[in-house]
Amino acid sequence: MIAIIGAGISGLTLAYRLQQQGTPYILLESSAMPGGYLQTEVQKNSVLEKAANSILADQLVLDFIQELGLSQEVVEANAISKKRYVYKNGKYRALPSGPLSLLFGSFFSFRQRVNIFKEYFNTTPYRKDYTLYDLVNERFGKEIADYALDPFVSGVYAGNPKELLADLCFPVLGKNMNTYGSILKGFIKNPPKRRVSLTFERGLQTLIQTLASKVNNKRYDSAVKSIQPINGKWNLVVNYQQATENISCDQVVFALPAYEAATIIRSYSEAWATRFEAIEYPMVRNMHLIYKKEQFGLEPKGFGALHPRVEPLYTAGVIWNSSTFNDRTPKDEILLTCMVTEKRTPEVTTMSDQEAEAAILKEIKHLYRIKGEPLFSQTRLWKKGIPQYTVKMTTILNHCEELEKMNVYICSNWPYGISITDCIHRAHDLAAKFKA
């Protein structure tokens, strides 16, 4: 039997696939509810996501959604959401949306645009230890690194591109350089496959609830405390309803954050606990704001706006939920999700909730020329937000085989990719491995 620890999207997807292929499993979740970072709340006719907002789905994920019978509930992003804005020199400017607007538009300086063109002929070899910032700066120039890469990395990883490894975050860059000499040439010869940005009518929790309803062998309120090998099997010590019980299994899957995996494995291996707890999870604060449309001087129309760290702002970016997806809030209202990250704004870690919320409100009011107060506001603080794909993640990847030989597996948003799509892929791959 396989014990899956954690019922977020990763653990649930794995449990569902194992059940389908007839592989015995048990899914253990410490909370009273499944979902982890996928939590939706419907408040005052608005659909509010506490962490993840949308899925950038590839074909495997679209097929999975269809298989779960959820295609009718999918809400695809509106066409206008192709427009993304970046704050530059005191105002929002549309990011170039294609090669023509990139080369002939005015977002980047003439010199920068020439640099982009030159990358096509650059044959400097790829290095696996490139940080994202160094690679992009070296190949394309500082403007691209500061105004395209940096805000994008803040939005996806809540991280700093000077710390994140290109090889782990966007392996396609190295692949293009190794195969074609140039990143640009690689994208021209092998354009990225189509992906669809989507959510569901009642938010991302639809996916969680559907999966949970189909997975039979699950237990909530069951926090795994430690694992120990006994007679060739793993013994799990589980806290359930204020009692402690033991569960015996053949394989253990960590489908939970690295720092939780560290506490569980410590009783067995200090070395693995140290590797796991070295993964950094910087703080992220989300704030939902709802206003009447008429309060806006500058109405948000697009996916959202990102705020590069070279610009003197407090927030890392704002998702324009009601413009991206229909029916997130009544038609005469606007729903925004503002994000503040420790990596961009370190002072967020020492500010009280009231101070942080006041700083966000002040900035948003100014940026969007808003009159009056929001109809609704709600904050969610993730003290440990998103795992950082730094060199410490490489250590785990390099030793994964050793872990798997001990019948311990990782199936979560580390170390195989951070997005919901990555998590679904990893769960599928692992299920296939258990079948073989």
Ligand X SMILES: Cc1cc2nc3c(=O)[nH]c(=O)nc-3n(C[C@H](O)[C@H](O)[C@H](O)COP(=O)(O)OP(=O)(O)OC[C@H]3O[C@@H](n4cnc5c(N)ncnc54)[C@H](O)[C@@H]3O)c2cc1C
Q: Would you call 317 helix, strand, or coil by DSSP?
A: strand
As measured in angstroms, the least distance from the Cβ of 51 to ligand X is 4
CB of 309 or CB of 425, closer to ligand X: 425
As measured in angstroms, the least distance from the Cβ of 403 to ligand X is 17
CB of 285 or CB of 309, closer to ligand X: 285
Minimal CB distance to ligand X: which residue? Answer: 36
As measured in angstroms, the least distance from the Cβ of 184 to ligand X is 26
As measured in angstroms, the least distance from the Cβ of 169 to ligand X is 13
Handedness of CA 163, 55, 292, 355 (dihedral sign): negative
CB of 132 or CB of 262, closer to ligand X: 262
User: Tell me, what DSSP letter sits at residue 293?
Assistant: G
Q: Would you call 263 helix, strand, or coil by DSSP?
A: helix
As measured in angstroms, the least distance from the Cβ of 397 to ligand X is 16
Under a CB-based contact definition with an 8 Å cutoff, are residues 203 and 40 in contact?
A: yes
Q: Token pair of 289, please?
A: 């704001």
Torsion of CA 196, 202, 205, 210, to 10 degrees: -90
Q: Would you call 407 helix, strand, or coil by DSSP?
A: coil
- Judged by the rule CB under 6 A, the positions of this chain that interact with ligand X are 5-11, 28-31, 36-38, 51-55, 223-224, 255-257, 260, 284, 286, 382, 385-386, 412-413, 418-420, 423
Greatest CA span in the chain, whole angstroms?
69
As measured in angstroms, the least distance from the Cβ of 17 to ligand X is 14
CB of 308 or CB of 415, closer to ligand X: 415
As measured in angstroms, the least distance from the Cβ of 240 to ligand X is 10
CB of 345 or CB of 413, closer to ligand X: 413
CB of 34 or CB of 181, closer to ligand X: 34
As measured in angstroms, the least distance from the Cβ of 63 to ligand X is 17
CB of 308 or CB of 317, closer to ligand X: 317
Strand-strand pairing, 251-254 and 408-410: parallel
Residue that is written with structure tokens 């982009």 in the block? 116
CB of 78 or CB of 122, closer to ligand X: 78
Alpha-helix runs per DSSP H in 296-419: 321-324, 353-367, 391-405
CB of 139 or CB of 425, closer to ligand X: 425
Helix axes 110-119, 132-140, angle to 10 degrees: 100
CA distances 258 to 238, 264, 304, 427, 429, Å, are 18, 10, 30, 16, 20
Strand-strand pairing, 2-5 and 25-28: parallel
Whole-number Å distance between alpha carbons of 59 and 279: 30
Q: How many CB atoms lie within 10 A of CB 355?
A: 12
Torsion of CA 389, 392, 397, 402, to 10 degrees: -160
As measured in angstroms, the least distance from the Cβ of 290 to ligand X is 19
